[in-house]
Amino acid sequence: MSHRMQAWLLAAPATLLVFVFLGLPVLSTLAMTFADPKGPLASYAAFFNSGFRMTVLWRTMEVALTTTILSVGIGFVVAWVVARAPSRLKSLLIIAAVFPLLTGVVVRAFAWLVILGKNGILNSFLLWIGAITEPLSMLYTQGSVIVAMVYLFVPLMILTLVGVLEGIPQDLTDAAASLGATPAAAFRQVVLPMAVPGLIVGSVLVFTGSFTSYATPQLLGGERQMMMGTFLYQRAMVTFDWLGASTIAAVMVVVTLATVLLMSRLARKLNPVAG
Amino acid sequence: MKRKTHPALIAFTVLTFFFLLGPLVVILGSALSDTPFLTFPPQGLTLHWFQNIFEISAFTRTMGTSFMLAVGGTALSMLIGIPAAYALARYRVELPSFLGNVFVLPILIPEIVLGFSLMKSLASGLGTPIMATLLVGHALLVLPYCVRVVGASLNSFDFSIEEAAVSLGCPRWRAFFTVVLPNIRAGIIAGFILAFITSLNDVSISIFLTGPGVSTLPIQLLAHMEQFFDPTIAAVSVLLMGVTVAVMAVVERTLGLTFLTK
Amino acid sequence: MTVSLSLENITAHYGTVKVLEDLSLHIAEGELVSLLGSSGCGKTTTLRLVAGFLEPTAGTIKLGDRDLTRLPAHARNIGLVFQTYALFPHLTVRENVGFGLKQRGVAAAERATRVNAMIERVGLGELADRHPANLSGGQRQRVALARALVIDPPLLMFDEPLSNLDAKLRVDMRVEIRRLQQANGTTALYVTHDQEEAFSISDRVAIMNAGRIMQLDRPEVLYSNPANAFVANFVGFENMIEMRAVAEAGDAVRAEIKGGGTIDLPKSQFTVPAQEFLFATRADGLQVAATGQGIACTLGLRTYIGRAYQYHCDTPAGQLVANGPLAHPFESGANAVLVPQPEQCCLLPKEA
């Protein structure tokens, strides 16, 4: 048996699983969007002409973008501190970041229900210290969704960026210092440009993750703060409008793939080690 | 001896970790609090809510389903993922380069789209049993973790060791089991664990494939949470965090947790 | 601008581990001094202290009149060449070389002139717009050198700069480094574990061990007159024989060899006052002969080393290595005498 045959035989089961159970169903969903009896592009026309659907799309974009920016900002500062911490403390901090990351989304969203709810601990605390007299309604707002999303993605960002920052050899910052660069100049001229590809990778993960999330907007945003994920579910399983749901799915796939492709191109262009 | 970090940055980092861990402590607090709503300042302590988990059959049943699904989906994914990772690492020339990306597709396609599509094409279109569809969905969901984590340890594996075994008269298949597998054991354990926890916590795929008959624990929790606020949910959450702690201990012992920053 | 570098009574710790102990070193203006030693001897720590990446627990570092001890690294104005080259991967050759001038606020036009001149000088004219990833090891080394030189530092430091190059290139580059250093008359500190490299280009070499300088002198002196057993061993004295002076007879001193036998040594060689001493030679310093005045031995394994045959010999003083003439090979197992060659031997104090 030739090597090529052996190789294909070994790779075949996994390849088939992806093609048959991911490729075909997803393609059929995408194909369905063009099978609207009113015309091939009618489902898209309906989507982009509907004020409500566009509101959901823009809201999702806005939440995802805000989440990304906040996660990058918080994650970069924390990763910087963690990467420079003495090794014992560093392992401890990494454990502290991994723990929430490995805890499920439902549990993590639930925590914010307990904190932000009408009878939640934050309201209870504010009432107790007398800062407010009536409980605030903090749930089911864009703010509550964003807080929970940032909470979801900051650990991921920290871990990604610690890896990136640790990958920058200390010799380089030492070299910059020996050439007269102040710590701030070395950060701006050496560390930051070298961290850019990692920042982009992290941002893509957070953006696509929050753009397509379901559990968090469902629990903390509810009907009032419908996002693409919850909207897709509602169309598919509540109103049984599979054509509409497929169109939402198609828009999500396009946005996700476009983000990944554009950003990985940008990352390659800004790759410091490019030739 | 030299590297100093600005105190403002340290303060910010401390606040961030408070933000990351505080909510989990709040969950623990609600699970132990004897008031249905966690109040401030906290009242008395009770284990009643933990006891309550086992009196709600929906929780115990879905716990079993989730566990079986996570083990089954991950095992299935490993069974086909390890040979694929091996083929990618061993036969770089013989296989087209895009094949490596094929196994990452389940990450690239939004989970919720995959869940919807599986429901539409398989469960509804072909009438496949719910449990089988869930199993396929979860196997797909975790395949990238299996292939990539195992692949990472295969990439640092020195294949001349395998050739040495073969030159000493060991058949290829036996060399794989006696020489290759033991040397990538850490990668397999890590991949299994990451996959297991991903499957166990999954919502976006399972949400489309569960119904009154079959459900998973996260979906059951979600449904429960939307209807009523019950500290039993906090107790279940604490149990799930316990699983996370166990998983982290295993990862720490096999690979060291710094593995996760790579 | 040439100045001297002084390290005065430097002690340094890594955590609780002491890595340098009361180290003093003075490098004169325009002089190139190497720190030579195996890994962990403290040579790189010394360099990093001077560079300002580490702080000493005690002691003073002075460059000319300037006290560097508490100055941050970026304010020290020292040209540093790293073992890993430490080129900025996101910058071109030109930008790498210009980095230091940019930090000093040198205007773009002047910067360009100086950078281009320096790039030409190290022979990289055509590669100026490439990124480091697209250069060979030798080319990267030249960029690193140019980057350190272009800022016109009063002190140049090299941290094992050649250890990542292949053998041929290493020799070429060290000549180049020496040439550039002498042309500028820059004071230089050079760290290496390669004895040949250190000896070939240094004015003086400090051989280090366990955080101390064991001997600091011109290479010629180190090579033929090591001051102690550690240095002798380091520079290749294979045979160390314990002896005891017992009597004087005219121009000779009679010494007892530990293990049995006696030997007469020229009195002029007796620089060691103690009665007990170590007699150290390289294999060249012990000639194998059929008869004569020396150490009786049984010959063991014979190897051919080009200019001579080398024998591993069993003697009452232990295993020794000696050379024999090509014209008269001896057979393994034969009895012979090892005749010391006084000008190739030295007497060392017995270690405490």
Question: For A272, which of C89, C130, C151 is closest by C-beta distance?
Answer: C89
Question: For A22, which of B9, B114, B203 is closest by C-beta distance?
Answer: B114
Which chains lie within 8 Å of chain B at 3 or more CB pairs, if any? A, C
Residue B33, SS3? strand
Can you give the pLDDT at residue B79?
96
Across chain C, what does the average pLDDT equal? 92
**For residue A217, with 0-12 CB atoms within 10 Å meaning exposed, 13-18 middle and 19 or more buried, which class applies?**
buried
Q: Does C343 touch chain B (CB under 8 A)?
A: no
Chain A residue with Cα closest to C99 = A179
Can you give the pLDDT at residue A275?
42
Find out whether A84 and B247 touch, Cβ atoms under 8 Å.
no
Cα distance between residue B13 and residue A87, in whole Å:
16
Cα distance between residue C309 and residue C330, in whole Å:
9
CA dihedral B91, B93, B94, B98 (to 10 degrees): 100
CB pairs < 8 Å spanning B and C: 6
> Chain A: nearest CA to B89, how far in angstroms?
10
Domains and CATH numbers, chain C: 5-227 (3.40.50.300), 237-349 (no CATH)
Check whether B2 has a pLDDT greater than 50: no
Cα distance between residue B25 and residue C311, in whole Å:
75
Query: Looking at per-residue confidence, does A15 or C265 come out higher?
Result: A15
% chain B with pLDDT above 70: 94
Mutate to test the interface with A, among B14, B16, B159, B227 (most CBs of A within 10 A): B16
Cβ count near A39 (within 10 Å): 10
The values of phi and psi at residue A189, to 5°, are -95, -20
* Cβ-Cβ contacts under 8 Å, B252 against chain A: 95
pLDDT digit string (tens) for C49-66?
A: 999 999 999 999 999 999
Mean pLDDT of B4-30: 92
Lowest mean pLDDT among A117-121, A144-148, C25-29, C67-71: A117-121
Cα distance between residue A264 and residue A260, in whole Å:
6
* Cβ-Cβ contacts under 8 Å, A114 against chain B: 23, 26-27, 30, 38, 234
**For residue C114, with 0-12 CB atoms within 10 Å meaning exposed, 13-18 middle and 19 or more buried, which class applies?**
middle
Can you give the pLDDT at residue B259?
61
Long-range CB contacts for residues C165-168, cutoff 8 Å, separation at least 24? C165/C137, C165/C138, C165/C141, C166/C137
Lowest mean pLDDT among A9-13, C206-210, C229-233, C241-245: C241-245
* Cβ-Cβ contacts under 8 Å, B1 against chain C: 14, 54-55
Check whether C275 has a pLDDT greater than 90: no
Q: What DSSP element (H or E) covers B202?
A: none
Can you give the pLDDT at residue B41?
64
Can you give the pLDDT at residue A272?
61
Can you give the pLDDT at residue C1?
61
Tokens 């390659």 belong to residue: A268
Mean pLDDT of C246-269: 82
Strands C78-81 and C5-14: unpaired
Strands C32-36 and C187-192: parallel
Tokens 């753009």 belong to residue: A211
**CATH homologous superfamily, domain B56-261:** MetI-like (1.10.3720.10)
Mean pLDDT of C1-16: 89
Query: Does the distance separating the beta carbons of B2 and C14 come in below 8 Å?
Result: no
Can you give the pLDDT at residue B261?
56
The values of phi and psi at residue C223, to 5°, are -70, -40
> Over its length of 275 residues, how does chain A's per-residue pLDDT go in tens digits?
788 898 999 999 999 999 999 999 999 999 999 988 898 899 999 999 999 999 999 999 999 999 999 999 999 999 999 998 988 899 899 999 999 999 999 999 999 998 998 888 898 889 889 899 999 989 999 999 999 999 999 999 999 999 999 999 999 999 999 999 999 999 999 999 999 989 999 999 999 999 999 999 999 998 899 999 999 999 999 999 999 999 999 999 999 999 999 998 998 887 766 54
Can you give the pLDDT at residue C164?
86
Cα distance between residue A233 and residue A246, in whole Å:
10
Label residues C263-297 b or e (16+ Cβ within 10 Å = b): bbbeeeeeebeeeebbbbbbbbbbbbbeeeebbeb
Query: Does the distance separating the beta carbons of B113 and A94 come in below 8 Å?
Result: no
Cα distance between residue C49 and residue C334, in whole Å:
56
End-to-end CA gap in chain B: 26
Find out whether C278 and C243 touch, Cβ atoms under 8 Å.
yes
Chain A residue with Cα closest to C101 = A179
**Confidence category of residue B56, pLDDT binned at 50, 70, 90:** confident
Cα distance between residue C56 and residue C48, in whole Å:
10
> Chain B: nearest CA to A107, how far in angstroms?
6
SS3 of chain C: the string is CCCCEEEEEEEEEECCEEEEEEEEEEECCCCEEEEECCCCCCHHHHHHHHHCCCCCCEEEEEECCEECCCCCHHHCCEEEECCCCCCCCCCCHHHHHHHHHHHCCCCHHHHHHHHHHHHHHCCCHHHCCCCHHHCCHHHHHHHHHHHHHCCCCCEEEEECCCCCCCHHHHHHHHHHHHHHHHHHCCEEEEEECCHHHHHHHCCEEEEEECCEEEEEECHHHHHHCCCCHHHHHHCCCCEEEEEEEEEEECCEEEEEECCCCEEEEEHHHCCCCCCEEEEEECHHHEEEECCCCCEEEEEEEEEECCCCEEEEEEECCEEEEEEECCCCCCCCCCEEEEEECHHHEEEEECCC
Tell me: cis bond preceding B41? Omega within 30 of 0 counts.
Answer: yes
Can you give the pLDDT at residue C273?
63
**For residue B145, with 0-12 CB atoms within 10 Å meaning exposed, 13-18 middle and 19 or more buried, which class applies?**
buried
Query: Looking at per-residue confidence, does C96 or B30 come out higher?
Result: C96
Chain A residue with Cα closest to B197 = A102
Check whether B164 has a pLDDT greater than 50: yes
Domains and CATH numbers, chain A: 41-270 (1.10.3720.10)
Q: Where are the domains of chain B?
A: 8-46, 56-261
Question: For A171, which of C82, C99, C147 is closest by C-beta distance?
Answer: C82
Can you give the pLDDT at residue B258?
60
> Chain A: nearest CA to C203, how far in angstroms?
25
Can you give the pLDDT at residue C34?
97
**Confidence category of residue B11, pLDDT binned at 50, 70, 90:** very high
End-to-end CA gap in chain C: 45
SS3 of A22-39: the string is HHHHHHHHHHHCCCCCCC
Q: Write the DSSP string, chain A.
A: --HHHHHHHHHHHHHHHHIIIIIHHHHHHHHHTT--TT-TTHHHHHHHH-HHHHHHHHHHHHHHHHHHHHHHHHHHHHHHHHHHS-HHHHHHHHHHHHHHHHS-HHHHHHHHHHHHSTTSHHHHHHHHHTS-SS----TTSHHHHHHHHHHHHHHHHHHHHHHHHHTS-HHHHHHHHHTT--HHHHIIIIIHHHHHHHHHHHHHHHHHHHHT--HHHHHHTTTTT--HHHHHHIIIIIS--HHHHHHHHHHHHHHHHHHHHHHHHHHHHH-TT--
- Complex ipTM tops 0.90: yes
Check whether B1 has a pLDDT greater than 60: no
CB pairs < 8 Å spanning A and B: 277
Query: Does the distance separating the beta carbons of B197 and A102 come in below 8 Å?
Result: yes
> What's the angle, vertex CA B231, arms to CA B229 and CA B234, rounded to 5?
110
A12 contacts: CB under 8 Å, gap ≥ 6: none
pLDDT digit string (tens) for B58-115?
A: 899 999 999 999 999 999 999 999 999 999 999 988 888 889 889 988 989 999 999 9
* Cβ-Cβ contacts under 8 Å, A194 against chain C: 89-90
* Cβ-Cβ contacts under 8 Å, B113 against chain A: 26, 29, 212, 232, 249, 252-253
Find out whether A178 and C75 touch, Cβ atoms under 8 Å.
no
Mean pLDDT of B225-242: 88
Residues pairing with C61 in the sheet? C7
pLDDT digit string (tens) for C282-306?
A: 999 999 999 888 888 999 999 999 9
Query: Does the distance separating the beta carbons of B218 and A100 come in below 8 Å?
Result: no
